[in-house]
Amino acid sequence: MIGPRDHPLRYALSEEFHARPFAELAGPVLATHFALLPSNADARDDRDHVADLCRRFDRKPPAADANHFLQDFGAFRLKWERHTEFTTFSFFHQGASSTPFDTPAFHYLPADWIDSLPGERLVATNLYLGRLEDLETAPGGPVAQFQSKSLCRGQVMAGRAEVWTDFRIHDDGFTRILIVDRGLVPSQAGRLVQQVLELQTYRSMALLALPLAREAGPVITRIDQSLAELTAEMQRSSGTSGEKALLDKLMALSTEIEASIAATSYRFSAAAAYHALVRERLSELDETLVEDFPTLRTFIERRLAPAMRTCESVAERQTILSERATRAANLLRTSVDIALEAQNSALLASMDKRAKLQLRLQQTVEGLSVAAITYYLVSLIGYLLKALSKSVPSLNVDLLRGLCIPLVAILVWLAARSVRKSLHKDDA
């Protein structure tokens, strides 16, 4: 190796640019395209299903970590791709047909294998790439293969091809696409077919968000009304108990809003991403008008853009509701906190008053205690002086008792003060 060592992801990132190559096609070609969503009831793996087909036709299966696979099986070619949310199977059969949508490409595969494809079918499309003359022998001509009221046509690839589709699911359960070849080389044909089929897939994936948006709309409206009523009730509310009840209701609404957001946010974000891919593919097609027919871009944007705006509107309303509920809850909490602080202040003032009363009572009791202790000590001294007067007749007992009173009182008061200071120091 020359130079510094490689980053561990260098080769993986380089290969990502070459992942999911398109199949080179030369008309006439029949194609069938499925986009399948994983089903909880179906535990089969799509890669294993592709490997099973390879075993039947003695072909090399995809690698254990592969997410895409392109293989020629003789009568047909298979292109398998695994995406984040869905899996696609595209089948190609070389051959002209005047009624290509009656004998689509998947007819050349084992019926039991097709019937057991894992997942639920979201997109099923039959496509024919060939000359317009191949279809003119069919009853009613090429236009009869579509519903004329919704038929879209557009020239692409600088006039080298023309795309026809009506975006309808026909009686066979498939949508139909006709690509008229007017001089495409195989690489151009393969890229065009992939772009058109991806348009079908990404358009359907984007629209998965619309039913969720429609379900969430009435819920958001109800929550919005309830939130407005709670906000108005906040202005009339008085008393901590009433505000606490309002806060409980507000928390319940906030929980409901967040549950709605959690249930839809991923789908709405995915829809925005798929819509961006649809617009990107439409730009790559660079269509031009054919007679008075609407182009694919006109038809798709006219119907897809309103659906995406509905999803964006619902997502925006959810965000605004969540912010409003948060602001209302903060205001209500502030009001409750202020009321509680006022109550706590009044309680502290009351406790301070009681403490002062207790202090005064304590001081009174302390004064009485000093007097009582002084009385008892002077009495004891009196008894002592009386005993001494028998030995010293000249001793004036009453006078000495009287002189002891202030001295004893001072000593008792100092002792009590020392004890009180010691107790206060311990408390501190």
**∠ Cα 194 200 205 (to 5°):** 120
User: Which is nearest to 282 in space by CA: 202, 179, 167, 166?
Assistant: 202
Instruction: Please tell me the predicted confidence (pLDDT) of residue 19.
Output: 62
Instruction: Please tell me the predicted confidence (pLDDT) of residue 15.
Output: 65
Cα distance between residue 333 and residue 339, in whole Å = 10
Within 8 A by CB and 6+ apart from 224, the residues are 317, 321
Cα distance between residue 204 and residue 87, in whole Å = 13
Please say whether the beta carbons of 175 and 101 come within 8 A: no
Residue at token pair 């309808």: 168
Distance of CA 262 to the CA centre of its chain: 5
Instruction: Please tell me the predicted confidence (pLDDT) of residue 176.
Output: 94
| DSSP annotation of 171 | T
Cα distance between residue 300 and residue 207, in whole Å = 11
Instruction: Please tell me the predicted confidence (pLDDT) of residue 425.
Output: 67
Cα distance between residue 43 and residue 41, in whole Å = 6
Tell me if the bond preceding 4 is cis, omega within 30° of 0. Answer: no
Write down the domain spans for the chain: 11-185, 209-346, 360-427
**∠ Cα 291 293 294 (to 5°):** 130
User: Which is nearest to 329 in space by CA: 403, 398, 409, 244?
Assistant: 244
- DSSP state string for 19-73: -SPPPP--SSEEEEEEEEE--TT----HHHHHHHHHHHTT-PPPPTT-SEEEEE-
pLDDT (tens digit, 0 to 9) for every residue of the chain, 428 residues total?
566 777 777 766 666 665 667 788 987 999 999 999 987 666 568 999 999 999 999 999 998 888 889 999 999 999 999 998 999 999 999 988 878 888 899 999 999 999 999 999 999 999 999 988 877 777 777 888 888 888 999 999 988 999 999 999 999 999 999 999 998 999 999 999 999 999 999 999 999 999 999 999 999 999 889 888 888 877 776 656 677 777 788 888 888 888 999 999 999 999 999 999 999 999 998 889 888 889 999 999 998 999 999 999 999 999 998 888 888 877 777 776 666 677 777 788 888 788 777 767 766 666 667 777 777 777 777 777 777 777 777 777 677 777 777 887 787 777 777 777 776 666 55
Q: Which helix (H) or strand (E) holds 165?
A: strand 161-165
49-73 core/surface letters (b: 16 or more CB in 10 A; e: else): bbbebbeeeeeebbeeeebebbbeb
Nearest-Å Rg of the Cα atoms of the chain is 46
Tell me if the bond preceding 218 is cis, omega within 30° of 0. Answer: no
338-363 core/surface letters (b: 16 or more CB in 10 A; e: else): ebeeeeeeeeeeeeeeeeeeeeeeee
Residue at token pair 């984007």: 206
**∠ Cα 308 314 318 (to 5°):** 145
Cα distance between residue 124 and residue 90, in whole Å = 10
User: pTM value?
Assistant: 0.75
Instruction: Please tell me the predicted confidence (pLDDT) of residue 186.
Output: 92
